[in-house]
Structure 1
């Protein structure tokens, strides 16, 4: 009877460790393994995932880019859930051009610097040019929810125009890059003025950089939004951070699709070791 109790206790010790090993965060393909049954869920397919035309090709990509060794051993095409997405389908983006302005209809607010719009009959996940607001989706950062609410409130006013700019229409995650106008107001500028922009990123040289930077400096000077405490403390370092290499900052480099997926095998081994040590200790105390 004692051995049964000890065994059950060991399982309870191991359970939270195993659960922690499968946080459900997205890999470079935009999916993850479900911890309960090792089914692979493709939530937000990235450009990398869209290279696969069949589930068998997607299996090969998952084997390469996902770190869950336990689930990969049993992966078959039948254990992939596309979550409504279609493999091998290419969007017709020929109607969009750089340096143009397009009327847009809001489809979904995502966070402070990302939303989905319908343009010319197509739905585009759109990354707002130049600004980086705090996270509010997978990871919630201070002022992330405030930035998300601010953006969503403005976009629901309608009369939206997207203006393409810079050297590329899309980033490496296949998100449209655009300035966002609501009526006659530039949303990126208003977010910066409200103290809800924490950083800048560069995919090229942009038309309204100086306007947004000026609004950003004004927010820091007046203590708006996230800069309220800094303004009161009179912190000297007020220079905005920029990505000198032409790449987005650390959050943007990984994006939601490159979060650390954990090391399930390691956590499982640690759990077994802890259980064995506990079992030995109890036997010694008998």
Structure 2
């Protein structure tokens, strides 16, 4: 067993299969096709768990992404990200970067990641079709996870990113109907909020109380949160209203576009919002 990120306990595998519909990608047991060589870039995309054998129940929000030789898991707790390669039909992961901060022991999201992250570092066999990827443990006990492709990473013209675009970015403009217009008008004047990204972390500056948490860019989206808020006193004003809104925006997995030093974050929910930021430092 390879190392897992700090603070992550390894849970004994639960062998009850969940009742998810499994796409026809070979299935479990003797009918599973022999792994074939695939380049890691062919795995690129967003996936949801569509079927399992020998795993804990799957939280509905769990997603998995692969982009430019890096994968990430999101929706479990603590989640994780790592460099990955494919050789001889197997997925190789040396070390999953993760933290157990804020994870509730015994919660379904925690139990899932306590299974899934060690499963990934056990070098599972990988089989790929046009619409799905199947990961299967090479040794006993039998464990299999079928991932259904739900999207592909953003193309180069759409600001494709991998990992974390490190730097500090000041907010230049906001388009959001649910944000107080007086707060929007204050940006660039009395209020100069910023976002920083570095080493798998994301944080808020310029408002009050600020906040920080784990965060990466994968599949063309910013995956961050929950952000930890420092226990400091804030006077009511533009900064506190902004921080409450922006924290929720950042945690809503906005799409990312980077052109030069201009970073655009955009959510597609209702109401959608767009935040334009400019890089001002490392």
Q: TM-score, normalised by structure 2?
A: 0.23
Kindly indicate which of the two structures has a greater share of residues assigned to strand.
Answer: 2
Looking at secondary structure, tell me which structure has more helix per residue: 1
Structure of greater Rg: 1
Alignment TM-score, normalising by the size of structure 1: 0.23
